[in-house]
Every structure is written in C-alpha cells, then in structure tokens.
Amino acid sequence: MQLVDDIGIRAEKDKDILLMTHIVLGYPSFAVNREVISQMVENGVDLIEMQIPFSEPMADGPMIVKANQDAIDNNVTVADCLEFAAEITVRHDIPFLFMTYYNIIFKYGEEKFLRRAQELKIKGLIVPDISPEEGKAFFALAEKYQIAVIMIFAPTSTAERMKELASYGNGFIYCVARKGVTGRATSFDEEFNSYLERCRRSTRRPLAVGFGISSKKDVDYLTGKADIAVIGTRTIKLVDAEGAAAVGPFIRGLRE
C-alpha cells in the first residue's frame, strides 16, 4: 500500500485500498453530518472530504447539487462550516479535506481561508474550478500553510496535461472516473483501464478514483489499480432513504 504521508494518511497493512467519503456540510443538518462522520470513521473510512456548500457546484450531479442548495436554503454559512470542522477534526483522528469552489475562498480571502484551514487541521483542498495557471498565488499560499491542493485528472486530460498538473499541488491525484458529473454509474472497461494506466504513468503520487463508485464490487475492481476509492453520492442517497445509522454497515460492507 502506498502511503499519502504528506496529508497524514496512515495506511494499515491489511488495507489494499483506502476509502475516502464525501459529505455536504449542513445537509441535511450538522447533527446528521456529525452522526454520519462517526459512522464512517468507526467503520473504516480513511479520509473524508467535507464540501462547503456553493450555489453553482459545476462538478456535481443532481443529488449533490440539491444537497448544496438545501444547505444554502437552510442558511448554512461558511463560518458555520468552519466551526463544525473545528469540532470534527479534534474528535476524529483521520485526515479531513475541504471540497469547495474558488468563489467561496476568494470571497472569504485566500490567505485568511488557508490560515483558518491550517488552524482547523484540514489537510487538503479539492477546488475543481481553479487551474494552476490561474491560481499560482493561491497554490503558493497553500504551500505556505501546508495545505495540500489536490489536482484533478479527467479522461479527457492528455498525457502532457497530466504531467503538468502533477507538477503542482500536493497529496494525491483525484482521477475523475468518467466524463460528466457525479452520481451516474461508471463503466469499468478497457477504456477506463487505459485511462488509469495513463494516470499512473503521469505521476508518482497516489491515485484516488471517484465519480460513480458505489459498491463493494466497484471498490474490489479498483483494488490494485488505484490507492483510494472515493464514495460520495451513494452515502448521501443512503442517508436520505434510511438515515445516518445505515452508513456504518454500508461502509463496513465495502471491505468484507
């Protein structure tokens, strides 16, 4: 197992692949977020990305878009999200990342946001709508505050672009499993395998694969091909349908 040392992941010897999950902060409530995170950590999740709600989440599918909007409609603020993160990162001894969009960070103030993230022990940021060419100052500030900016590969990325992206940021590389947005199933076929091989050749960093990962079968397929499997929409749907208590058995079942 390849370790992601610079964002604090400690891979256990019996884990052939790590699990990363995704929650939308404030959806359906912070109380439910708190219970869901506990269920995730207690059942073997290795790191969690916490999404700060934004009104136009371009990389997200209908389920996560709705969760973002519902949180905003419930008056969830950036300050609320940061306060919640302060509680959670102390309570649970795994790495936490923020996922959000650049407008949130820009409006808050780049350095102010990064300084606060460091104080909260946030290990990384996933910001889909900022490129390294546009965000050179931001990337430099993130390095100053020891926050890993996670770069994103897509099936449409050329080998040259992958190598360029891999020269920026830190931590791991997030490999989007298919074209489009989150939520739809991903086809694991030769085209997908070829894409992951291109990703692997482009960087020595660990690879996280997300978008459409929703079952033990998916996680098993990625084992040996990727370092981290990312489960997002599936757990949000599960909470909506069955409540937070259903998350623990689901997560546990991904490795049984």
Collect all residues with Cβ–Cβ distance below 8 Å to 182 and sequence separation of at least 6.
59, 60, 61, 63, 64, 210, 211, 212, 232, 233
Residue 160 three-state SS: helix
Among 145, 148, 208, 190, residue whose Cα is nearest residue 5: 148
Q: Catalytic residue among 46, 49, 218, 227, which?
A: 49
Among 252, 253, 247, 199, residue whose Cα is nearest residue 227: 199
Q: Is 190 a catalytic residue?
A: no
Beta-ladder partners of 49? 22, 97
Q: Catalytic residue among 46, 60, 218, 227, which?
A: 60
Q: Is 60 a catalytic residue?
A: yes
Helices of type H across 92-232: 102-108, 110-119, 136-144, 159-166, 190-202, 216-222
Residue positions annotated with a catalytic role: 49, 60
